[in-house]
Amino acid sequence: MNALIKKIKDEFNGYSKNVRIALAIMFFLAAGFIVFGIQILFWGLGYTDMNNSYPFGQWIIGDLGLVALGGGAFTTGFILYIFRNDQLEPMINSTVLLGFLCYLFTFIYLVFDIGQPLRAWFGYTYPNWGPGLLPASMLTEVVWCLTFYFMILFVELIPVALKHKILDKIPVLHYIGHYLHRLMWIFAAAGTFLSFFHQGSLGGGMWGVMYAKPTWFSPHFFYLAIVGAIAGGTSFMALCAYLAGTVMKKEVVPAGTFYSIAKISGTMMLFYLAFRIYDLAVRIGTYVPLFDRRFINLLSPAYGWLCFIELIFAAAAIVMLLVKRYREQEKFFLIGVASGTLAIIASKLSIVLNGSAAPNFPWKQFIAYNPTIQEWFIMLGGLSIMAMVYMWCAKYLPLFPHAEKHGQQEGGA
């Protein structure tokens, strides 16, 4: 035990002062996650600020955000294995792990959101059969697609773990990892197929079909969510790899890889921004007037600005990632991938917060949402655990093969 404690202390003291402060904060939030998570699971959702207007807790923002950002995993894998963009190879292990963590914590947050974890299996078995014995519940489709894609990510993660220098010396494990790697194109194609469905349905379809809700109703919301996940997800994958290199003080991936994924993300963000502007124009001119309302009157004083912040972040990402002289400068590259990530996060915040705050009828008032301390700790604690697991894997697993070959080089985009 003493040896273990000493090893943990040595590990902690081996980081820079800023990283140690960040780790201390994350440990604190993770401890709160455990304490308040037990409280919510055993004593119920009365410790949240959920109500009839906000039927989902703060964690649904985490669900939507993590699923969208985790979409960078299927995008990167598809472009690498199907389109054969080999420049993305040095980053693929990192993206698979990030996708796995995003989907894992999506399930964890959903467990809190449903209120009765013992009935979590209802999502698989009660699809609300509609006319003609067809499943009418979009959540059932989401749950099944999430589960299958999570399993695919788990399989894709196995070769990464088996490449560890100790495990790779075992002949059987070496060959298993080698042949699984050769089959990755099949998993990449299947994962893309499944991800398209749940990205669209969880990120857009579940909200856009609500024709009684003027802030959400939109026939094309499904497709907008898919484009947003591709654009923001690739930015998130690049951002995490960049931050890992900064913390480790190594060149974790070559500059060409960063430039390649930056161009992909910037191009998709351009499509997303054009699609989003079209979406707003159609809402303003067609869909919202169907409810005898004006779009401007549906923007909550507390959350309405998120819509405009989303557009600003998207525009910044496009400029920084598509203009060559900006993309190839480290500080502008960082601004670009951070902006692309924040654009999608702002989008999900706007969907949940502003969409729930806006009343269905003009004579009702806007409603604000004030998450309790339990909700904050579960949300931030879960993200902290994700970050620490990623840091640990980056240090002890061959997450960045390029870094092992260039261990003495300091990184940057």
Q: Which range (128-137, 258-267, 356-365) has the least confidence?
A: 128-137
In this predicted structure, what is the pLDDT of residue 35? 94
Q: What is the mean pLDDT of the chain?
A: 87
pLDDT at 409 over 70: no
Q: Which domains does the chain have, with CATH numbers?
A: 19-116+138-405 (1.20.1630.10)
Q: Would you place residue 261 in the very low, low, confident or very high pLDDT band (cuts 50, 70, 90)?
A: very high
Number of neighbours of residue 366 by Cβ within 10 angstroms: 17
In this predicted structure, what is the pLDDT of residue 95? 94
- Distance (Å, rounded) from C-alpha 175 to C-alpha 198? 33
- Distance (Å, rounded) from C-alpha 106 to C-alpha 314? 24
Better pLDDT: 10 or 326: 326
3 state DSSP class of 55? coil
DSSP state of 101: H
pLDDT at 410 over 70: no
Better pLDDT: 119 or 26: 26
In this predicted structure, what is the pLDDT of residue 179? 78
Digit-coded pLDDT (tens) for 341-360: 999 999 999 999 999 899 88
In this predicted structure, what is the pLDDT of residue 191? 84
In this predicted structure, what is the pLDDT of residue 382? 94
DSSP state of 252: -
In this predicted structure, what is the pLDDT of residue 115? 72
Q: Which of 241, 403, 270, 258 is nearest to 326 (CA)?
A: 258
Predicted TM-score of the model (pTM): 0.91
What percent of the chain stands above pLDDT 90?
45
Better pLDDT: 28 or 394: 28
Digit-coded pLDDT (tens) for 129-156: 666 666 667 778 788 888 888 998 888 8
Number of neighbours of residue 270 by Cβ within 10 angstroms: 17
Q: Would you place residue 411 in the very low, low, confident or very high pLDDT band (cuts 50, 70, 90)?
A: very low
pLDDT at 408 over 50: no
Please give the structure tokens belonging to residue 318. Answer: 């496009």
Digit-coded pLDDT (tens) for 10-65: 777 777 788 889 999 999 999 999 999 999 888 888 888 888 888 877 888 888 89
In this predicted structure, what is the pLDDT of residue 413? 44
In sequence order, which residues have a C-beta less than 8 Å from that of residue 50 and are 6 or more positions away? 56, 57
In this predicted structure, what is the pLDDT of residue 130? 67
The predicted model gives 268-274 an average pLDDT of: 97
3 state DSSP class of 135? strand
- Distance (Å, rounded) from C-alpha 388 to C-alpha 394? 10
CB 375 within 8 A of CB 277: no
Q: What is the dihedral of CA 299, 305, 311, 315, to 10 degrees?
A: 160
CA atoms within 13 A on the CB side of 380: 15
CB 259 within 8 A of CB 328: yes
Better pLDDT: 13 or 229: 229
In this predicted structure, what is the pLDDT of residue 169? 81
- Distance (Å, rounded) from C-alpha 271 to C-alpha 227? 7
CB 96 within 8 A of CB 116: no
What percent of the chain stands above pLDDT 70?
95
In this predicted structure, what is the pLDDT of residue 143? 84
CB 65 within 8 A of CB 341: no
CB 198 within 8 A of CB 277: no
The predicted model gives 68-74 an average pLDDT of: 91
Residue type at position 153:
L
Residue type at position 292:
D
- Distance (Å, rounded) from C-alpha 361 to C-alpha 367? 12
